[in-house]
Amino acid sequence: MNCSKTEILIHALLDNELATSHAIDVEAHLRTCAACSENLAAFATTRKAVIQADLMEFAPTSLRKRLQLVPSPIVGATVAVAAANSRCLSQRSFAPGLLLGVAVSAAVAATILLASSLSWIIK
């Protein structure tokens, strides 16, 4: 592990998003590299300050009340129509994809056959 790789993975280490093997590698590098350890400490301090600042904002009560007035049956109908369309689309969209795959495969096979034929004629 080097400094450039550690620099990329250090944020994921802080967020506990690294696989165990990568975390072990990064932590091993941090034990031997003062510059990367300082970066980790600075990022951890910044992260802690942002969390403690409690910067979350909430929508005003008047806006939340207006949003609750939006009729939900329209949303439900939209979801039902979308679900019905997705079933139809999934059944219809299979055939064009299959045909495209067959066409591309045939074109590749024809190209290989033509190239091998030409190389046999040239020899």
For residue range 39-79, what is the model confidence (pLDDT) as tens digits? 999 999 998 898 888 787 888 888 888 877 766 655 545 55
Segments making up each domain of the chain, as ranges: 3-52, 87-123
Question: In this structure, which long-range contacts are made by residues 26-32, counting pairs with CB atoms below 8 Å and at least 24 apart in sequence?
Answer: 26/1, 28/1, 29/1, 29/2, 29/3, 29/5, 30/6
What is the phi-psi region of residue 16: left when phi exceeds 0, alpha when psi lies from -120 to 50, beta otherwise? left
Q: How far is CA 18 from the centre of its chain?
A: 15
pLDDT of 116 above 90: no
